[in-house]
A and B are shown apart, each in its own frame.
Chain A
Amino acid sequence: MDELEIVREFIASSNFSESVKKALNEFLALEFKSGTQSEYLAVIQKYAKAESDEN
């Protein structure tokens, strides 16, 4: 079982937008492996447009 499943469940059942949920899950994985700033930025760039379009 995924050790972070419970946190992912919290995110999934939250009222955040779908793009925010997806980004949070990716950031969670990055936090666990101590991701770099550019990796964070890549996730932002990946979902920011979709979020903007959603709104």
Chain B
Amino acid sequence: MRIERIRVENFGVLHNIDLDLAASNPNIVFVNGFNGRGKTTFLDSIKWAFYAEEPRQSKFLSNYALKNTPDQGTIVVRVVVSLIMDSNGAIATVEREQTFQRIQDGVSRRVGASVLTVQTRNATAGSLTETLSEIDAEKWLNHYFAKKLMNFFLFNGESMAKFFDSKVKDNIEGAVRQIARVDRFEDMANGLDTIAQAHNKKIARLVGARTERIALDLEDARSVLRKLHDSAVSDSKTLSELREQREKKSAILEGKEGIEASVVELKEVEKSIGVFQENLAGAQELFQNEIMSYGVLGILAPAMNELFVQIENAKKEDRLPPPWDPERIRALLANETCICGAHLTPNGEAASQLTKLIERYQVSSTVGKQLSELGSKANEVKSALTGGWKIVNLHNSSIVENQRQLNISVNRRTELLDSISDIDLTEVGSAASEIKRLDREIERLVGSISATEVKGRLVQGQVDQLQRDFDKASEGNKAAEKLRIEAKFAREVAAAARSIHVEAIKRVRERIQDSFNAKFGTVKEGSFQSEITDDFEIVIKNEYGQVTELSEGEKMMQAYAFSMALREVINLSFPLIVDTPFGRLDGKNRQDLARKIVTFLKAQTAGREFQAMFMMHDLEYTPYTKRYFSELQPFEAFLGSDPENPTVRSRMGFGIDPDWTQVEAWKDWSEGKIK
């Protein structure tokens, strides 16, 4: 079975989403997106379509649609999933819709119940796919998507490590009873009992009064036995329902624990955001100051270099004047003293030429002196400039780091706020007392079932004895003998029909174990042995027979392998859909799990009809994990921000979200720095 197309309308942030896979028909589909873009909502929409499980009101009806609909106008929340059912191309389209009416801004009311339809095309005439869809859409869904098995197909990475803590046994047994058509076998057994009873009456009539009396006693005893059996079946069904209710209530309380942890973490995250914002602002201010100071010097830097060149050249060419004292020469001239042996007449031609020369030389010397001083100043500036740019760079790095930390904290805050806003505190308040009531009721039922079983064994003993008496009394009558053989056989088949689910569960457990070993073996390092207990718990032992602890990543892979084994054994082929497949694993373990998932999926998809869909955020699907995943040639889609309505509407695109390429590693990837 494969998903051909999923359309979602007015469901939370998914205003109008169309994931059309018909042309590419991929084995592996990625629907990626930043947190808050609607990945979980996308999974919720599928859950609603198939299992009628509604998300909370705030995540159900699209705020965008509600805002853009006039008062009294109607809005239809609709999810349409087309499935390729088999290799012959039979298509089944499951559609569920719920109508709302807008009362006023932010207020709406539900109009009627949700409507489910299943339509088939290209299905073989008379096949179960076609027949069931014609009879009843709910029956069709119940057959192909047993609700008990929902959590084996719609995974959430964060809860996968705890997968086997949940009621795996109850779910599998319930599903197997459904798949093994226990109700039909029960009807069959009742029909056979009626035949056996009718035969007994005929035998009694043939053989005589004594046999007839035994037959009547036998009929009474069987009637008591049947009532006890019906009572046990009914109590078991109620018990299963009560346990399911209790599980739901427990989940609310677990959610409450989650709230406490989330609130504590939220406070820490808020604090971190404050610190990072402060650090960021400080770093930005320092950066601006430094860039202003050194920026001016930076502008002068090329001129400085030219100045250094000129000074060096002047030194080399001896153009800089020697130390110079013109006052002394002036004094010589005033005293009419000859400094070179010649007599200089004051104001004479030679003396005035010498005076002019002195003046020109003095100008040149002053320029040289200034130039020399400027040279040493320039050296100081150059040194300051080098140090300054280092500081500017440091501040820049500090800005980048603080911005990165801030982004991580802001994303985490969004996640935590989402998780908290999902939980209804009033519901939490009543959950604890409801659990107490359910526990009392469960205890009463367990006792009642146990007492019924004891009574049943006693009555069964009476029935067996009466049957022996009856058979003995009817011996010797040929006509009665034939009927006796038929009645006995009818009872045998009835007993077999009633126990078929016990056989089925036993076989399923054995086969899951074999299949699980083969699948888990593709990703578990080292030799190991696994055993699936009667309670469907998996015990992994090392080569020395010691029970081994699994890493978080291995626990997640164990859940994948178990799910796949179950699907194979009970012949269900619904695609595997996983939200946040890496849960909360850190970077190194993420890459390790990516490698394991790819190895696992490669083995699953090799020559088999299998499809998996993963929904990942930007820290799960990175250019580094993409390297591993590219081997699988995935179909890449993303849920991105709608530029016009970023907070209330997401859009679907294909490939990598352009918004991703603006940040961190994806930016480097888009620039070709990461291959």
**Which positions in A face B, CB cutoff 8 Å?**
1, 3, 5-7, 9-11, 13-17, 19-20, 23-24, 27-28, 30-32, 37, 40-41, 44-45, 47-49, 51-52
Contact = CB atoms under 8 A, between A and B. Distances in A.
Contact of A20 (B185, B187, B496, B570): B496
Interface of B: 86, 127-128, 179-181, 184-185, 187-188, 191-192, 194-195, 485-486, 488-490, 492-493, 496-497, 500, 503-504, 507, 570-571
B187 A16 contact: no
Contacts of A32: 184
Contacts of B184: 28, 31-32
B191 A40 contact: yes
A44 B571 contact: no
A26 to B, nearest CB: 10
Nearest to A6: B571
28 contacts: A3-B128, A6-B180, A6-B570, A7-B181, A7-B500, A7-B504, A10-B507, A11-B500, A13-B503, A14-B503, A16-B496, A19-B489, A24-B500, A27-B192, A28-B184, A31-B185, A31-B187, A37-B191, A40-B191, A40-B192, A40-B195, A41-B195, A44-B486, A47-B489, A49-B485, A51-B485, A51-B489, A52-B489
B542 to A, nearest CB: 31
B193 to A, nearest CB: 11
Contacts of A5: 571
B493 A24 contact: yes
Contacts of A20: 492-493, 496
Contacts of B496: 14, 16, 20, 24
Q: From DSSP, what is the main secondary structure of chain B's interface residues?
A: helix
A7 B195 CA distance: 24
B500 A44 contact: no
Contacts of B187: 31
B195 A44 contact: yes
B123 to A, nearest CB: 12
Contacts of A11: 500, 503
B484 to A, nearest CB: 9
Contacts of B191: 37, 40
B192 A48 contact: no
Contacts of A37: 191, 194-195
Nearest to B132: A3
Given A31-B187, A44-B486, 18 more contacts: A7-B500, A9-B507, A10-B180, A10-B500, A16-B496, A16-B503, A23-B493, A30-B188, A31-B184, A31-B185, A41-B195, A48-B486, A48-B488, A48-B490, A51-B485, A52-B485, A52-B488, A52-B489
A13 B305 CA distance: 93
A49 B500 CA distance: 23
Contacts of A31: 181, 184-185, 187-188
A7 B179 CA distance: 7
A14 B490 CA distance: 18
Contacts of B488: 48, 52
A16 B486 CA distance: 17
A9 B488 CA distance: 25
Nearest to A22: B493
A12 B411 CA distance: 55
A24 to B, nearest CB: 6
B179, B496, B507 — which one has the most chain A CB atoms within 10 A of its CB? Answer: B496
A20 B192 CA distance: 12
A48 B485 contact: yes
B503 A10 contact: yes
A52 B486 CA distance: 9
B492 A51 contact: yes
Contacts of B180: 6-7, 10
A9 B181 CA distance: 13
A3 B195 contact: no
Contacts of A44: 192, 195, 486, 489-490, 493
Contacts of B181: 7, 28, 31
Nearest to B196: A44
Contacts of A52: 485, 488-489
B2 to A, nearest CB: 16
Contacts of A30: 188
A28 B127 CA distance: 16
A48 B188 CA distance: 16
A41 B192 CA distance: 8
A27, A30, A32 — which one has the most chain B CB atoms within 10 A of its CB? Answer: A27
| Nearest 9 CB-CB pairings of A with B | A48-B489, A3-B128, A10-B504, A14-B503, A48-B486, A52-B485, A6-B571, A31-B184, A16-B496
A40 to B, nearest CB: 6
B196 to A, nearest CB: 9
Contacts of A15: 503
Nearest to B128: A3
A46 to B, nearest CB: 10
Contacts of B185: 31
Given A27-B493, A41-B195, A44-B192, A3 B485 contact: no
Contacts of A40: 191-192, 195
B191, B488, B489 — which one has the most chain A CB atoms within 10 A of its CB? Answer: B489
A3 B500 contact: no
Contacts of B497: 24, 27
A32 to B, nearest CB: 8
A17, A44, A45, A47 — which one has the most chain B CB atoms within 10 A of its CB? Answer: A44
